[in-house]
Structure 1
Amino acid sequence: MNVSILIPLLLVYIAIMSWLAYYGYKKTVTQEDYLVGGRSTNPVIMALSYGATFISTSAMVGFGGVASVFGMGLLWLAFLNIVLGIFVAFAIFGKRIRKMSLHLNANTFSTFLGKHYDSKFITIFSGIMIFIFMPAYTSIVLIGGGRFVQESLSLNFNVALLLIAFIVSLYVISGGIKAVMYTDAFGAIIMLLGMVVFLFLTYYAVGGVVDGHRALSALNNMVPKELAADGHNGWLSFPDVGSPMWWTLVSTLIMGVGIGVLAQPQLVMRSMTVESDKSLYRSVIVGGIFIFFMAGATYMIGPLSNVYFMETSGELAIQVAEGNTDLVIPKLINSLMPDWFVYLFTLSLISATISTLSSLIHVQAAAFSEDILKPLGIKTVLWNKIKPARLGVIIGVILAILLAYILPGGIIAQSTAFWFGICAAGFLPSLIGAMFWKGASKKGAETSIIVGFLFSILGFLFLKSSQSSVFGVSKALFGKDYLLPFPWTHIDPLMYALPLSTAVFIVVSLKTNSKQQAKGNNRNTEVVSVNE
């Protein structure tokens, strides 16, 4: 890349982002401003921030690379992203969360659940889960941005990681959610422009929509033997039902991320930042269009990269990337796109990385200060010199950097599914119960959250081979990477942890309510007998 062109572009970009962050800082006066933007955020800003937080480098780089292997079947995930992640999240869930959080004076996801169920345990335990496990997701967003900068700018990966983390930590510490959302919205516009151009130029390079899909279909006889043995039927077809690839595609990539979006703390909190239901309805349109172009385009470009690389190098995309799916999209851009687009997409991916990282670290900091320390009566730390939220940012950034060095290559999509899956199993039943079921009880919610997280984590540690082999706990304890044979090795823990946590939530709530009702009847009987 031409440094004389790139440097001025980056300087202009950083200047705009810095001004927006400073503007957010000046608008941040109260703790409510820092956490939920004073509940008066413009709906367009909120929708763009939500989309930019949702669609990070994990989607643009990680899932784009995974789509080059699994094919167009991932478009079902884009469908769920729009239906569940936008329409249901805003128009149905968002409306109730906004009103209830205002009534409860709740400024974080964990506080919302804890105050509704009148449970300090839920607040603290949920905050701890977020603070401990969210770095697994934060780190892979950082990896995605670092890998692209490494590939496109020929910059050292370590330098790229530290630079991105430093930029994010600066304005999250100072401006809170307002600075995050303003910079997110600006980044979202750049991301949208970059992805629209990327999709158009990719189809143009493979001969258009019809010829491109025909060429992709013609590659069916080029499916590698190991993928065919796992059920691969070509890039325009679903894998064989019940095969390893089918279980991974359906249970992990489509269901895990598609359902998990409803229980994402950093996304749920966006509903708390607007002032009316009308704002949420307006956000549906903006958010839907954004997700359609961002997620849908990514899941189409990935498979089509096989056509391009086969025509230009005689190899499939995963072969060009030497087995690392995280490098497919960066290599496609460097090989296919004109220089001016590389500059544009560099800014797009930097925006995607920064927007998602800032939101995740903000949620981690809020969990640390509001959900863990505040209920314990701790308002300042380190000899009264650092506010807990600021310290939470610093710790979150350090954890993300450390994990970015530890996690192996090609892990972006798997780590995304891990975080989304454990959130769905742990939080979704109690979240839905809080909004829609008057019979939901405190004990039911507490038990459900514990069961959801417990079985999800056990599944990832001891059953699902792609994660259990990386964590190494099963190997250390039992001498093997996983404990049960196929299909358990490829079934996402969400598929059994979420039904279990839901069942526990319903059963315990019903029993708790029946016992309380029985105690109430006994008291009434005693009162009557005394009066007699």
Structure 2
Amino acid sequence: MNILLLNVIVLIYLLVIGYLGYKGWKGTSSAEDYMVGGRKIHPFVMAMSYGATFISTAAIVGFGGFSGLFGMSLLWLTFLNIFLGIFIAFVFFGKRTRKMGHNLNALTFPELLAKRFESKFIQWFSGLLIFCAMPIYAAAVLIGAARFIETTLNISFDVALLVFSIIIAVYVVMGGLKGVMYTDAFQGTIMFFGMLFLLYMTYDILGGVTTAHQAISNMSGLVPANLASVGHAGWTSMPTFGSPMWWTIVSSIILGVGIGVLAQPQLIVRFMTVKSNRELNRAVLIGAVFILIATGTAYVVGTLSNVYFMNTEGVLSIGATVSEAFPTGNSDSIMPLYINKAMPEWFIYIFLVSLLAAAMSTISSQFHAQGTSIGRDVYETICGKKGLNSVIITRLGIIVAIVIAAILGYILPGGIVARGTALFFGLCSAAFLPAYALGLFWKRTTKEGAIAGLLTGTFVSLFCLVFIHQAESAALGISKMLIGRDVLISAMPWPYVDPMVISLPLAFIATVIVSLLTKAPSKEHLKKCFKGI
């Protein structure tokens, strides 16, 4: 290991991050600056911040590792990420969100919903839900980064997790959203070129695009028996239709994350940081290209890592990660191990910075969203106090959020990165998407309807996690304790159907029916909300 080269690269990176965080701090003089960047963010910064917040170690390490197990079927998620997460989100949702947020002077996503529906309950309940649910997603991102640092630098996972958490805490607490978005844009740029080079190097090592893909196609007969029994049909094929693996890939990964991106609080607030729709239009192409390279590379390289390990060690990727701590392997270690064994040393250090950038850009936005939720949406709404006090509470909330995420990072099991991400995305989709989407596009949506959808999506999701979806219900043990078995319904496919597939349609139905049965919002209020839309 070239310690001098590593130290120089990391030092330069941290100096730039420190400068950008300082720049954000110097440009933050009001709550509007801290919450939405003063609504004057450049389209490149906005697009790269959105993409870098969206794509993190969860995508590179977690979903890349899942691709090592399950194959290129995850590329359907890249398609949804671009079509829904960029095109639909920016062109249709983003423009209305930006304008309505400006009309109502909303500084957070829960505040936007609350002012659209004239409901303090929606604001504090949504803020509390974000603060309580986001730590598992934040912990998943922390774990992904710490695993790579552990593998690359050969240091303790616990130490890597602690140091990384402290670094993020400093610039998020001080710089607000400006500091977060400036660093995001820089980190996203590093990620883009790092992932592009990783893809090129992988194909070069494996003999070219055609040779590499033919090799992974020829390995279908090497699928482990335990994976074949649940539907694995090879790394270049979709799982067997209707199998447990098919339901996991399609409902939890592709649909859960693909649809869930539309209702991510830390992403939606980005739409309120630009001054006009022109900036959003200019950001679409930038965001789409970034997502294509970042996610597409992770899923392709994760899959092709099986060819590399089979050629060099005679085992599949998951077999190469077997250790005393993980006797059956750990999918979260596939990408870090592949990069450290297959790539040149200088690139490992560069990619370490790329991965740190991926984690820091996402998790800083998560912590900022949690802090503003507890400070702006819960504290201000319940106590009725605004101004300096709420910014102080926001910063304290960020510190608490970081501590919770770090604690979860120490106790969550292996292979949790992708699953933790999908769980949070699905919960946000079920809880927030009906009120958010209908509130933007259907003027007849009422306060009572929005509340009904919010509560239905939240509590049906939680019920499914505890009693229906086996991955979580078995781990929690509540169902086992109360009814004597891991899941309430054991017949296929219910134990493998993601909670979002059940809760999201029910939440939409509840929102529409209750809205039709209750009094429509006043014309004056709707005129204010939809002015210029």
Structure 1 residues 386 and 515: CA distance shift in structure 2, 3 A: closer
Counterpart position of 1:161? 161
Counting only pairs closer than 5 Å after superposition, residues 62-81 of structure 1 correspond to structure 2 as: 62-81=62-81
Please state whether the residue corresponding to 1:273 is helix, strand or coil.
coil
**1:395 matched to which residue of 2?**
400
CA distance in 1, matches of 2:51, 2:7: 27
Q: Tell me what 1:478 maps to.
A: 483
Mapped pair 1:417 → 2:422: yes
CA separation in 2, counterparts of 1:476 and 1:33? 49
The CA distance in 2 between the partners of 1:316 and 1:24, in whole Å, is 45
- Taking a change above 3 Å as real, the CA distance of residues 337 and 107 of structure 1, as seen in their structure-2 partners, is same
- 2:340 counterpart residue number: 334
Would you say the 8 A contact 2:376–2:390 is kept in 1? no
Q: Does 1:454 align with 2:454?
A: no
Paired position in structure 2 for 1:438? 443
How much has 1:516 moved relative to structure 2?
10
Shift of 1:85: 0.5
**Aligned amino acid, residue 219 of structure 1:** M
SS in 2 for 1:445: helix
**Structure-1 residue corresponding to 2:325:** none
CA separation of 1:222 and 1:78: change in aligned 2, threshold 3 A: same
Partner of 2:274: 274
Report the AA paired with residue 170 of structure 2.
L
Find the residue that maps to 1:408 and give its secondary structure.
coil
TM-score relative to the length of structure 1: 0.95
Letter in 1 for 2:183: T
Q: Partner of 1:489: helix, strand, or coil?
A: helix
Tell me, yes or no, if structure 1 residue 5 matches structure 2 residue 10.
no
Instruction: Write the distance in 1 (CA, Å) between the matches of 2:478 and 2:283.
Output: 43
Q: Deviations over 1:442-468 (max 9, x none)?
A: 100001000001111111111111112
Identity of aligned residues (%): 48
Distance 1:317 1:160, change over 3 A: same
- Superposition deviation, residue 380 in structure 1: 8.5
- Structure 2 unpaired stretches of 5+: 323-328, 524-533
Q: Give TM-score, length-normalised by structure 2.
A: 0.95
Corresponding residue for 1:510? 516
- Residue 362 (structure 1) aligned with residue 375 (structure 2): no
Q: Superposition pairs for residues 191-340 of structure 1, below 5 Å?
A: 191-322=191-322, 323-340=329-346
Give me the whole-angstrom Cα distance separating, in 1, the residues matched to 2:416 and 2:170. 27
Q: Alpha carbons of 1:465 and 1:34: their partners in 2 closer, same or farther (altered >3 Å)?
A: same
1:111-122 aligned at under 5 Å gives the runs: 111-122=111-122
> Paired residue for 2:531?
none
Q: Distance in 2 between matches of 1:477 and 1:57?
A: 36
* Aligned position for 2:18: 18
Matches of 2:87 and 2:14, distance apart in 1: 33
Matching of residue 496 in structure 1 with residue 499 in structure 2: no
State the one-letter code of the partner of 1:426: A
Q: Secondary structure at the match of 1:387?
A: helix
Task: Say if 2:379 and 2:390, in contact at 8 Å, map to a contact too.
Answer: no
2: CA distance, partners of 1:274 / 1:457: 35
Deviates more, 1:78-87 or 1:166-175: 166-175
Q: Give the partner amino acid of 2:217.
A: S
Give the match's secondary structure for 1:394: helix
**Deviation sequence 1:282-331 (CA, Å, 0-9, x none):** 11011001000001111111111111111111111111122210000001
Partner of 1:184: 184
Equivalent AA in structure 2 for residue 231 of structure 1: G
CA distance 1:515–1:440, change in 2 (3 Å): closer
More deviation in 508-517 or 386-395?
A: 508-517
The CA distance in 2 between the partners of 1:134 and 1:151, in whole Å, is 26
Q: Distance in 1 between matches of 2:513 and 2:30?
A: 41
Q: Which residue of 423, 426, 430 corresponds with 2:431?
A: 426
Give yes or no for the alignment of 1:343 onto 2:355.
no
1:527: which partner in 2? none
Q: Conserved in 2, the CA contact under 8 Å of 1:251 and 1:492? A: yes
CA-to-aligned-CA distance 1:123-156 (integer Å, 9 cap, x gap): 0110110010001101110111111101111121
CA distance in 1, matches of 2:495, 2:205: 38
Structure 2 match to 1:530? none
CA distance in 2, matches of 1:370, 1:24: 19
**Structure showing greater Rg:** 1
Aligned partner of 1:306: which letter?
Answer: N
Which range is displaced more, 317-326 or 418-427? Answer: 317-326
CA distance in structure 1 between the aligned counterparts of 2:384 and 2:448, rounded to whole angstroms: 26
In structure 1, stretches of 5+ residues that fail to align are 518-532
Distance in 1 between residues matched to 2:418 and 2:483, nearest whole Å: 27
Please say which of residues 259-268 and 455-464 is displaced more in the overlay. 455-464
Distance 1:271 1:146 in 2: 30
- 1:528 alignment counterpart: none
Partners of 1:493 and 1:447 in 2: CA distance: 18
For 1:427 and 1:281, locate their aligned partners in 2 and report how far apart those are by CA, in whole Å.
Answer: 25
What CA distance in whole angstroms lies between the structure 2 residues aligned with 1:251 and 1:471?
21
Give CA deviations for 1:48-87 in whole Å, capped at 9, x if unaligned: 0111100000000000000111111111000000000011
Residue in structure 1 matched with residue 125 of structure 2 by the alignment: 125
CA contact (8 A) 1:380 1:388 kept: no
Distance of aligned partners of 1:25 and 1:243 in 2 relative to their CA distance in 1, 3 Å threshold: same
Deviations 1:446-494 (A, max 9, x none): 0100000111111111111111222222233333322211311110011
Which letter maps to 1:335? K
Count of residue correspondences: 516
Q: One-letter code of the match for 1:354?
A: M
Q: Look up the match of 1:520.
A: none
Distance 1:195 1:376 in 2: 45
Give the equivalent residue in structure 1 for 2:140.
140
The code of the aligned residue for 1:373 comes to Y
Residue by residue, what CA displacement relative to the aligned partner does 1:200-257 show, whole Å, maximum 9, x if unpaired?
1111111111111111111011011111111111111111110011000100000000
Partners of 1:218 and 1:236 in 2: how far apart?
Answer: 9
Give the secondary-structure state (helix, strand or coil) at the position aligned to 2:495: coil
The structure 1 residue matched to 2:493, chosen from 487, 490, 505, is: 487
Partner Cα distance (1:53, 1:168) in 2: 14
Match of 1:521 in 2: none
Equivalents in 2 of 1:210, 1:385: separation in Å? 57
Classify the secondary structure of the residue corresponding to 1:484: coil
1-side partners of 2:471 and 2:321: how far apart? 19
